[in-house]
């Protein structure tokens, strides 16, 4: 069978990224230009700044990726792009770049949902086996998804309020850690102990999650301790927060695997980089004989390689967009 080369573009938040992926699994070249240092000055992503930086960077990132791959546009079979969800001004730059390339070089245009990309980041590690459960944990999403086959997404539960990454970032800010807080809370958690014993959030028999309560519990705790003149042990508070979050995520995920009779689990999204979550899932899955795939660290956070992997399957299924494709800040995964 002829090889299929997908050129993928991702610009949904603060990373400008272009990648070339062969047959949905071979990463030929990827370039990721992160704007993190710029946004760190403001304590979070500033959408207007992100959008302007994507405009400045997109052509350069594209050229660098093609050079790195030693390919040109005639070698490419289709252009895949994240059309949503994400920051609208950021998404628009990637979508416009993809449409321009598709028009200029007369290539099919394949729209990819950002979360489908995070899920297919796992296909860059190992081919996915079905049926599977995907635990999606990012800055904007926390979902449990059942997949019977490629590109079939059935959401069985998810957060009712904050996404888990969002809760990590807020907790980091409250205890005075810099942006982005998730990885720093994770690091501190490994230096501390679960001494604050926070409750397990939404510890019920649904597959839903809630992280706003535990976030408020941390905020109140910090506030009360300050008023009493007590010093917070940041490492222990991070360890306590991480313990509760990892406990509830893994508890509901393992139950879903059992109840759906599935023995394949994949983890997706920025929080898949969390060491506590990776360790706990690795040990539970080995006890229960579950095949676990977690993306490598570089594929956990936003990148275009994952969009190229998902884009290949969307392309094979005949998913196409016209040149009137628009970016969507919110859209259900389907």
Site residues for ligand KG4 per CB under 6 A: 13, 138-140, 165, 168-169, 180-183, 186, 269-271, 273-274, 301-302
Sign of the Cα torsion 130, 132, 138, 142 reads positive
CB of 301 to ligand KG4, least distance (A): 4
Using CB under 5 A as the binding rule, the residues of this chain from 217 to 276 that contact Zn ion are none
Q: Angle at CA 284, nearest 5°, toward 281 and 290? A: 90
Partner whose footprint covers residue 135, from ligand KG4, Zn ion, none (CB < 5 to 8 Å by kind): none
Nearer to Zn ion among residue 138 and residue 244 (C-beta): 138
Q: Give the largest CA-CA distance in the chain.
A: 70
CB of 153 to ligand KG4, least distance (A): 16
State how far the Cα of 286 lies from the Cα of 271, in Å rounded to an integer: 21
| β-bridge partners, 102 | none
- Under 8 Å CB-to-CB from 281, ≥6 apart: which residues? 135, 250, 253, 265, 267, 292, 294
State how far the Cα of 95 lies from the Cα of 111, in Å rounded to an integer: 9
DSSP label of 317 = T
Per the listing, tokens 């730059």 go with 93
CB of 77 to ligand KG4, least distance (A): 26
Partner whose footprint covers residue 274, from Zn ion, ligand KG4, none (CB < 5 to 8 Å by kind): ligand KG4
Nearer to ligand KG4 among residue 27 and residue 302 (C-beta): 302
CB of 190 to ligand KG4, least distance (A): 10
Q: Does 302 bind Zn ion (CB under 5 A)?
A: yes
Nearer to Zn ion among residue 239 and residue 293 (C-beta): 293
CB of 189 to ligand KG4, least distance (A): 8
**Residues binding Zn ion (CB under 5 A):** 138, 302
């Amino acid at each position: 069978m002829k090889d299929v080369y997908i050129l993928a573009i991702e610009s949904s938040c603060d990373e400008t990224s272009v990648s070339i992926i062969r047959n949905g699994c071979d990463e030929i070249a990827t370039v990721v230009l992160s704007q993190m240092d710029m946004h760190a000055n403001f304590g979070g992503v500033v959408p207007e700044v992100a959008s302007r930086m994507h405009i400045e960077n997109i052509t350069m990132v594209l050229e660098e990726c093609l050079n790195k791959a030693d390919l040109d546009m005639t070698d490419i079979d289709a252009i895949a792009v994240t059309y949503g969800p994400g920051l609208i001004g950021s998404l628009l730059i990637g979508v416009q770049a993809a449409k321009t390339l598709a028009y200029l070089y007369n290539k099919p245009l394949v729209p990819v949902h950002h979360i489908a990309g995070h899920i297919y980041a796992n296909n860059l590690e190992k081919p996915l086996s079905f049926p599977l459960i995907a635990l999606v944990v990012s800055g904007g999403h926390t979902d449990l998804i059942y997949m019977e086959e490629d590109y079939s997404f059935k959401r069985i539960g998810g957060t009712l309020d904050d996404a888990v990454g969002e809760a990590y970032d807020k907790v980091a800010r409250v205890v005075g850690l810099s942006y982005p807080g998730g990885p720093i809370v994770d690091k501190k958690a490994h230096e501390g102990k679960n001494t604050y014993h926070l409750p397990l959030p939404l510890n019920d028999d649904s597959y839903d999650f809630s992280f706003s309560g535990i976030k408020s519990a941390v905020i109140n705790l910090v506030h009360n301790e300050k008023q009493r003149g007590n010093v917070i042990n940041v490492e222990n508070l991070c360890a306590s927060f991480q313990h509760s979050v990892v406990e509830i995520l893994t508890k509901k995920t393992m139950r879903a695997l059992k109840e759906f009779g599935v023995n394949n689990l994949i983890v997706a999204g920025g929080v898949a980089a969390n060491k506590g979550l990776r360790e706990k899932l690795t040990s539970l899955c080995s006890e229960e004989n579950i095949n676990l795939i977690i993306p490598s660290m570089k594929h956990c956070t936003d990148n275009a390689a994952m969009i190229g992997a998902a884009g290949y399957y969307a392309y094979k299924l005949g998913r196409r967009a016209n040149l009137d494709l628009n970016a969507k800040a919110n859209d259900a995964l389907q």
